[in-house]
Amino acid sequence: MHGVINPATEDVIASVAFASVEETDEAIARAHEALPSWRDMAPGERADLLRRFAAVVRAHEDDLASLEITNSGHTVGNARAEAQLVAKTMDYYAGGPERLFGKQIPVPGGVDVTFHEPVGVVGVIVPWNFPMTIAAWGFVPALAAGCTVVVKPAELTPLTAMALGEYAIEAGLPPGVLTVLPGAGPVVGQRFVDHPQVRKVVFTGSTAVGKQVMAGCAQQVKRVTLELGGKSANIVFADADVEKAAATAPYGVFDNAGQDCCARSRILVQRTAYDRFMELLEPAVKGVQVGDPRDPATEMGPLISRQQHERVASYVPADARVAFAGSCPSGPGFWFPPTVLQGSADDRSFREEIFGPVVTVVPFEDEADAVRMANDTVYGLSGSIWTRDVGRALRVSRAVEAGALSVNSHSSVRYWTPFGGFKESGLGRELGPDALESFTETKNVFISAD
């Protein structure tokens, strides 16, 4: 049994049995067995089951939120929103089975049609930063497309995914259609990669492990979607509403204690507005409420683990150029204050994904300089652009190599718009209207009129 820890108190809150390779194989076999009846179920019936699943999740919103607060240190506001997001994702993709259209393509001598066939058993590997939402973004569209699914939550945060597995049964999904298997990455996750009956892997996590997953999947030409790291830029031009840009910048990077692949952890500010921006940023950062995640006034909770705390702290050594920092509780819990570094584009803190509440601010000269600096990274996930000039907003949005940008806001992920990264931030897109198709193979059939 493995102890699950509350990162705000360091108390052990649950013990979870981890699946072995043999148990993983048994779950994959059950998913494979459940595939034909799930795939061949009338589309409307599959849609109804997903709607019922959403209703059960809604009925357990408080339970899910409370598990995420104690297991992951998410603030009560975020945890509730995440539980609601899971239900909304289910409702959205419940519209999928009846809309999974193929095409009819004009050909001589007959009829040509395409079908979207479910790819088969899908393995979803989930990280610890958003345990229930990231699990749902993988398994919900897969189920809607007619696939059966095995899910591996992160070792540190298995509780909400395990609850979702139970709610699936409560909602009436047939056994084997969705199985949640807590366990170690190199055991359960690796088995999803290696097992020939798993026909697609959806992986969210570090770029290093994502590359291994992709290389492993290549052995069987297995389909793979990767959502990996980020080092997203928040670009503030001098012509922007600098007050608003500074007031919102902390929430673009410190949400979930910075443990967000979309965190805008590099702030690029046009030199002529730099001093003003920093002046305004300081009270905004010091005003971030860090503390007990159960308190509705709290805006930021703890880091997920001692190990993550050590990693984040390594980016703020004693001689770091700290411009200013907020405060955080002392005592038990993996607390880290929101921290702003002044730096240069060569700094490690400016180049590497920190995954904690640390942001580096660097000045730029002009539009070309801003785009060059924003793109000078192996990552390309997200980013924000602050300007009042519509032409510049369009030019810079097109020039920044990233999959999910926002102008004059730090918009977060929406279940009905596509999400994913350029370059080493990932491969493929999740969510949005096209996600279902990524869980299918297109089949072309010609029917002769003779």
Q: Which amino acid is at 426?
A: G
Residues 306, 310, 312, 317: is their CA dihedral positive or negative?
A: positive
The smaller minimum CB distance to ligand NDP, of residues 229 and 380, is found at: 229
Instruction: Please say which residue, 197 or 408, places its beta carbon nearer to ligand NDP.
Output: 197
* Shortest distance (Å) from residue 119 CB to ligand NDP: 19
Cross-strand partners of 114:
444
* Cα–Cα distance for residue pair 138/121, rounded to 1 Å: 12
Report which DSSP code applies to 315.
T
Closer residue to ligand NDP (CB): 336 or 355:
355
Q: How far is CA 71 from CA 54, 224, 259, in A?
A: 22, 28, 14
> Shortest gap between Cβ of 338 and ligand NDP (angstroms)?
17
Smallest distance from ligand NDP to CB 228, Å = 5
**Cα(177)–Cα(167) distance, rounded to whole angstroms?**
12
Nearer to ligand NDP, 209 or 257 (CB): 209
Residue 415 · residue 212 · CB < 8 Å: no
164/393 with CB nearer ligand NDP: 164
Task: Using CB positions, name the residue nearest to ligand NDP.
Answer: 185
Give the tokens for residue 112.
Answer: 């040509």
| Identity of residue 40 | D
Which of 19, 288 has the CB closer to ligand NDP? 19
Distance between alpha carbon 375 and the CA centroid of its chain, in Å? 21
Q: How far is CA 88 from CA 48, 95, 226, 413, 419, in A?
A: 14, 11, 23, 13, 16
Spatial separation of the C-alpha atoms in residues 267 and 274, rounded to whole Å:
10
**Is 227 labeled as catalytic in the residue annotation?**
yes
Q: 77 CB contacts (<8 Å, ≥6 apart)?
A: 296
CB of 301 to ligand NDP, least distance (A): 16
- Please state, as a whole number, how many other Cβ atoms lie within 10 Å of the Cβ of residue 171: 20
DSSP string, 89-156: HHHHHHTSGGG----EE--TTEEEEEEEEE-SEEEEE--SSSHHHHHHHHHHHHHHTT-EEEEE--TT
To ligand NDP, the closest distance from the beta carbon of 99 in angstroms equals 29
Query: Between residues 35 and 193, which has the closer beta carbon with respect to ligand NDP?
Result: 193
Question: Residue 190: enclosing H or E segment and its boundaries?
Answer: helix 190-194
β strands within 170-241, DSSP E: 178-180, 198-204, 223-227, 233-236
Q: In the complex, which residues of this chain contact ligand NDP (CB under 6 A)?
A: 125-129, 152, 154-155, 184-186, 189-190, 193, 204-206, 209, 212-213, 227-229, 261, 311, 353, 355
In the complex with ligand NDP, the residue whose CB is nearer, 143 or 263, is 263
Q: Which of 61, 82, 170, 227 does the annotation list as catalytic?
A: 227
Shortest Å distance, C-beta 197 to ligand NDP: 17
CB of 429 to ligand NDP, least distance (A): 15
CB atoms under 10 Å from CB of 196, counted, come to: 10
Which strand ranges, in their side-by-side order, compose the sheet holding 104-105? 104-105, 110-118, 440-448
Distance of closest approach, residue 435 Cβ to ligand NDP, in angstroms: 17
Query: 340 near 285, Cβ under 8 Å?
Result: yes
The sheet carrying 322-325 orders its strands as: 322-325, 339-342, 358-364, 266-270, 233-236, 382-386, 404-407
Rg, Å, the chain Cα set: 23
Residues known to be catalytic? 227
